[in-house]
Chains A and B, each alone.
Chain A
């Protein structure tokens, strides 16, 4: 197990696996606090405001205050809700998001579970949340919740197809579905990243237009899958109050909130794995030790979290018909064409 330094340190026993499972959990909690602060700050900076400034220096402990506030709030279950489903939905949402972290690497020395279908696993598990969203929305016994849940289900299922096709194309390019294999195939300088056609001799320039298209398709699709703007019609506050989490309060609401932020990191790290060379340093062997690799990986993923927030405060929400147009008439053909060309070029070689 050279991909998990904890197993080398402690040995192959249950404690090592517990620690391996605990590190991503701590990472998610810390990351969620940072992302909440980032959301607050970027929202206000884009609107020429200062954002939270009173809690701590420059308001940096505002997310902690928000979590404490949510912990203190009353936990309300509507009288006519379906109680078992209503109460389990938030936990299933978070389980779905967190389970994906099992296969997300941090550096070449720490991949919690280095399975040979890692990319497939991450994709499959993170689409688990749609069940929980549908469950929570239906169990709330509220029209807004049901509408939000239905919109969410239709959106997430539609957008899974083009994103899935772009993953297949990259898997064809790298000849593997394993996270570590895909990343190792992009080692070296940044022009070896899949975004720029992957590693290979000069003919790789033929791939570049298609990988750029796939990158766009995957990025747009991941926005839709994480229910982020401009595809946040399942939670459209101005139309359907809060969508599927209208009836949730206190910690159960926090779980939905938490899962959304965790999902943002999952899709961002998927972009990093598939297109941006994962943990590899952009400058060959320069700063490429395992610790620096973690910095590179988290940095690249956080950059895409930032881009998601940036887009959220730039674009208005799309209409449902526009949403379906983008998915079925634009992204799907583009992903298909790219997949066919990449597979053809792969076969010819």
Chain B
């Protein structure tokens, strides 16, 4: 009885061996002539035209500078510091310091640079933006011939305008300094020795 079982198992083993190989070969045969999933990207695959791009994909950043209030939260959030923001205080009397939406502007964004050579598309900067003015767009092709072309300037201010607004800001600051102080200055703390 014991031996019969052994013999039975031996032949069953051979049969399952041959049978499972044939099953496997049938599966690979189907795949051999089946649909291929490779997309030949630049030649025959244009996701921008066909719209084949996931809704929440992380592509290239874009800044709607007309809405940016220059809070620099995105700059602080960026883990690799690829965003660089410089701002100028806007004068309250300046008639130009108004957003297109009609809101008053408190800071001129004189520089808003994103270095896409460094950007790792983590999407953290877009999370905390109070105005939702920095976001990912559908463009994902970054290739350029010169590395400097990856440094994108989003600020629309010309150098002349920057100089003008800086002048106004300095004048206002000087005026404030000349005016009598209403409260003692609170910002003159000595450097903390522990940090050094």
Contacts and interface: CB of A to CB of B under 8 A. Distances in A.
Contacts of B148: none
A46 B40 contact: no
A315 B35 contact: no
Interface string A48-75: 1110010000000000000000000000
Given A314-B24, A330-B14, A50 B29 contact: no
Interface in B143-179: none
Interface string B122-148: 000000000000000000000000000
Contact of A310 (B14, B32, B34, B36): B32
Contacts of B34: 48
Contacts of B17: 326, 330
Given A314-B24, A315-B24, A42 B40 contact: no
A50 B31 contact: no
A313 B38 contact: no
Nearest to B23: A314
Nearest to A50: B38
Contacts of A48: 31, 34-38
A45 B36 contact: yes
B25 A314 contact: yes
A161 to B, nearest CB: 18
Nearest to B39: A50
Contacts of B27: 314
Contacts of A46: 28, 31-32
Given A314-B24, A330-B14, A45 B32 contact: yes
B33 interface: yes
A313 B30 CA distance: 13
A44 to B, nearest CB: 8
A310 B31 CA distance: 11
B28 A314 contact: yes
A213 B62 CA distance: 69
Interface string B96-133: 00000000000000000000000000000000000000
A216 B17 CA distance: 12
Given A42-B32, A46-B32, A330-B14, A310 B38 contact: no
A50 B14 contact: no
B21 interface: yes
Contacts of B18: 216
Contact of B29 (A49, A53, A310, A326): A310
B21 A49 contact: no
A47 interface: yes
Interface string B68-106: 000000000000000000000000000000000000000
A206 B31 CA distance: 38
B14 A49 contact: no
A228 to B, nearest CB: 14
Nearest to B34: A48
Nearest to A326: B17
Given A49-B38, A330-B14, A315 B29 contact: no
A148 B70 CA distance: 65
B25 A50 contact: no
Contacts of B24: 314-315
Contact of B33 (A44, A45, A49): A45
Contacts of A329: 10
A127 to B, nearest CB: 25
Interface in A4-56: 42, 44-50, 53
A313 B28 CA distance: 8
B36 A49 contact: yes
Interface in A295-349: 310-311, 313-315, 326, 329-330
Contacts of B36: 45, 48-50
A50 to B, nearest CB: 4
Contact of B25 (A47, A216, A311): A311
B21 A315 contact: yes
Contact of B40 (A50, A313, A315, A326): A50
A45 B31 CA distance: 7
A314 B21 contact: yes
Contacts of A47: 31
Interface in B22-69: 24-25, 27-29, 31-38, 40
Contacts of B38: 44, 48-50
The residue among A44, A46, A50, A315 with the most chain B CB atoms within 10 A of its own CB is A46
The residue among A42, A53, A314 with the most chain B CB atoms within 10 A of its own CB is A314
B183 to A, nearest CB: 71
Given A48-B35, A50-B36, 10 more contacts: A42-B32, A47-B31, A48-B37, A48-B38, A49-B36, A216-B18, A310-B29, A311-B21, A314-B21, A314-B27
7 contacts: A45-B32, A45-B33, A45-B36, A48-B38, A49-B37, A53-B40, A314-B28
Closest 9 CB pairs of A and B: A50-B38, A314-B28, A314-B24, A46-B28, A48-B37, A45-B32, A49-B38, A314-B25, A46-B31
